[in-house]
Amino acid sequence: MSAAPHKPLVYIISAPSGSGKSTLVNELLKKVSDLEFSISYTTRAPRGSETNGRQYYFVSRAEFEKMIEEDAFLEHAEVFGNYYGTARRFLQKAEQNGRDLLLDIDVQGARQIQDKVPNATSIFILPPDRKTLEVRLRKRSEDSDEVIQRRLDKATSEIENYTRYNYILINDQLEDSIKLLRAIARGERLLRAGRELSEEEKKIVALAECCRLANVRDRLKRILDSFKLPDDSGAA
């Protein structure tokens, strides 16, 4: 009798631009085994040293729209005039390889994935406050003041979606954030393993639980205040 096919655990990671998501994702891929990373398709031009097939698959608008017609995407969205999308083939590849799937996508894409994969684990990464986010965006030295302001405005609208996520990770100290993200990824696997956990494994799950919405409300309120957003965490 053949074994049942592996059902990939899907991790969704979203964050406002400048929150340090890319660094955290790269560290997670180094520290957690059996994790496939879905490289998004985009119609935007490469930046700096970005190369095709590494940070993104860079395609023309016509190519992207053809993929939409062929239903090749699990999710796709248009952001600042450019398309971004996650190809279905990455989920199929993870299943074939017996691995889990990590998706680095924005809130629009996350909503589409959550509708299609309701048991996906969703993680929202936040900056400690609006001022810190602005400083990080300016340090990148990639954008004009106008674009930075637009990114800050978009961050505000994205953060309004925080209650849709299972975990909230406030990226203040990088090393601490890496440990927490790793604990979330490993903790979800342990919770779904369907067996008694060792004491060490219970500690991993407990560390991940620190990032549950109910457990970050005090810190979250300060962040929301800095973006002039209401605190809806009590409704989640």
Domains of the chain: 10-38+103-235 (3.40.50.300)
Q: How far is CA 83 from CA 1, 62, 129, in A?
A: 44, 11, 28
Cα angle for residues 184, 50, 36 (degrees, 5° grid): 35
What distance in Å separates the CA atoms of residue 212 and residue 219, rounded to the nearest whole number?
12
**Three-class DSSP category at 56:** strand
pLDDT for residue 236: 44
What distance in Å separates the CA atoms of residue 30 and residue 42, rounded to the nearest whole number?
24
Helices (H), 18-78: 21-31, 61-69
Cα angle for residues 35, 64, 54 (degrees, 5° grid): 35
Backbone angles phi, psi at 38, to 5 degrees: -85, 115
Q: What's the distance, Cα to Cα, between the start and end of the chain in Å?
A: 43
Interacting residues of 180 by C-beta distance below 8 A, sequence separation 6+: 169, 207, 208, 210, 211
pLDDT for residue 1: 46
pLDDT for residue 8: 93
Query: 27 with 181: CB under 8 angstroms?
Result: yes
Query: 83 with 77: CB under 8 angstroms?
Result: yes
pLDDT for residue 6: 76
Per residue of the chain (236 residues), give pLDDT as tens. 455 567 899 999 999 999 999 899 999 999 999 999 999 999 999 988 889 998 899 999 999 999 999 999 999 999 889 999 999 999 999 999 999 999 999 899 999 999 989 999 999 999 999 999 999 999 876 778 898 999 999 999 999 999 999 999 999 999 999 999 999 999 999 999 989 999 999 999 999 999 998 999 999 999 999 999 988 766 54
